[in-house]
Amino acid sequence: MFGAGLIKGLIETGRNFVGSYYQAERLTTVQYPEEKLPPDENARTIPFLVYDGEDAARGLRCTACTICEQECPPQCITIVKDAVKKPDYLGKMQLQPKVFDIDISTCMECGICVEVCPFDSIKMDRVFELAVRERFASLLLHKAQLAKPNTYFQKIHPIQAAEIDAQRAEAQRKAEAKAKADAEAKARAAAAVPAKATVA
């Protein structure tokens, strides 16, 4: 019949229009900002720095290696190394950034900084309400503003955080086992020296 396709299209349009008022799968909008849909786990906006424990200064994972600064396409990351070294979660003495700034006005949210970081210290956030009145000072985020606890990372990216925590726990277990074995070997060596001296 001539015009059958047009009639079917109008029926489908009418069904979608009427259904958008009461069918849950068709209610695609919420009353923002009073209502907000939670972002997907894979959603990403701006980077943030992860720290372990309660103290951001002591638990910051970043070692100021500057790889993210070098690889950042828009060059929005600025890092200045601190002269003082602090122990990381494996007990190794590592540098930390004295200054770590990200200019989110130029950040393209590509996530390359996350991919190149060898210490899992920088991750992508899911915050999206970033509008401010002051364009320059307010869009330059400093280390204190960027640092967020690992519990926050676990909350917004639970699957990825669980994998990283498992890897770090295994690395820490191996490091502790190695340190214990080295200490026992040194103790045996120290005990063997007086014994040889006595025999002589």
Tokens representing residue 63 in the block: 């070692």
pLDDT in tens, 34-53: 888 888 888 899 999 999 98
Q: Which residue has the higher pLDDT, 42 or 90?
A: 42
The span from the CA of 128 to the CA of 33, in Å, is 12
CA distance 194 to 184: 16
Q: What is the pTM of this model?
A: 0.77
Domains of the chain (ranges plus CATH)? 47-157 (3.30.70.3270)
CA 191 – CA 187 distance, rounded (Å)? 6
Instruction: Please state, as a whole number, how many other Cβ atoms lie within 10 Å of the Cβ of residue 64.
Output: 19
In tens, the pLDDT along 110-161 reads 999 999 999 999 999 999 888 888 877 889 999 999 999 999 999 999 999 9
167 has pLDDT over 80: yes
Q: Could you give the CA distance from residue 139 to residue 106 in angstroms, rounded to a whole number?
A: 9
Question: Regarding predicted confidence, which is higher, 60 or 190?
Answer: 60
Round to whole Å and give the CA distance between 102 and 48: 9
CA 74 vs. chain centroid, Å, equals 19
β pairing state of 77-87 and 47-51: unpaired
* Residue 200 scores a pLDDT above 60: no
3-class secondary-structure state, position 35: coil
